[in-house]
Structure 1
Amino acid sequence: MLSTPNQFLDILWSYWGKKGENSWEKEFDKCRGRMQSPINIDTNKLIVDESLNIEFINYDKAVNKANMFNTGYKVKIYADENSAEDVFISGSALNNQTYKFIELHFHWNDGPNNGSEHAIDGQKFVMECHIMHRNIKYNDMETANAHDDGYAIIALVYIELDEPNLMYDMITDHLHNVQDIGQQYTFETSIYLESLLPPNREVFYRYFGSYTTPRCNEAVTWIIYPELVFIDKKQV
């Protein structure tokens, strides 16, 4: 669970209060851009392109010594660069460029229909996962942030069921270790990114957008899977 807003007042932005979403456009010029995320995906306006594909490289390999870290804004999971198998995505949906996994994180809220950031035909979902990848032709975050092909983010959306998703137990079982800002936990077991994905990986939505939080850089190719991933209510 993330720390509450009053535990970190000296921040640049927030989801709440005076520095909440309504102030982002005023405080951050890129948040006034024309390609801002998240969006509502209107499936009646989709353009079908069966030539587009995503290639997963080493997604079935173990990510060893992954770390969980509370940034104050989110809990993120990232790989130890010195011990992890390099994991990538590529394919025609990404203009055949290659992107390296850097982190994953989750967005959720109270209630079953307002936790996700993206919506599909006006419907939001209990939770959304972002698996972030940086274009390998850029060596650091600042350089990637300055280019519209800097990042590729896979977004997964979730539905609550009354049965546990065992693939997520290893994550939710350790959230208590990072309740406070700045806390970090190193997983004792490996994470397999492939296990987080829905079975059907051929159908996805793609659009060009931005970070969903400040500084709102329009540097992201979004890949959104419409097939819902199930998760137990106790895991959210």
Structure 2
Amino acid sequence: MPELVDLLSLWPVVSVLASHLGLGDLIQLARVNSEYRAVLHGFPPPAPRRVELASPDQGERPQAVREDLFIGRHQTPLWNQLKARANLDCTEAMHFQGNTTGLCRYCSMPVCMTCIVRASFAHPFNVWRSRTGYLCIDCWTTGNPHRDRTYRQAPEKRTSYNSPPGKGDFCRCKVNDGWLCWRCRQFQVRDILLRRHQCVGEACSNPVGPGREQRCICLWCDLPIQRFVSLKAKQSL
């Protein structure tokens, strides 16, 4: 007997369904499991999930990110067509009204400007300043990416960081780039004090160490933030 995921593989069915869904609902549907994600993006069917058994006391240990999930390569023609058919409705629980709606930088769920402004008044922390994270010397020199990064492209095991005044790409984010839903605003400021002292590198919990301002990255664009330091501080580097 056909299941819902089988019907979603038929374009006449899925295209009509998408036109009756909000974009947030469509995104949530694609996140049900890897099979739904593959069908809605036009990926090949995922391989059966394999689990590596570590030891009897540790239980199951999942493998690293699987290649057949195509992480970071989700902007396929099929997925973009389905998103274009869906309704761009704000998904905030307390949404009342608002016309200008965009996608959250972190979770991609639609949120309107009215809800963003309301959240800013309710909890007036500076989301632009709190977007920073710091790396320890080892993670900076080895190019270890930060653990909460978003996958805008296929994940890389190493990132090229450049410390000022070196050459390279640096963060160019502006205040208006901080289009965040309520949950992700809370996520960004979570443990903000801890982030000042603990490295945000993937699988790293080392202290940041001295000179952290020279190893500062943006959690929005994943690029280093160029800091202007005094001449005395530069001479001490």
Structure holding more strand per residue: 1
TM-score, with length taken from structure 1: 0.24
TM-score, with length taken from structure 2: 0.24
Structure holding more helix per residue: 2
Structure of higher RCO (CA pairs closer than 8 Å, 6+ residues apart)? 1
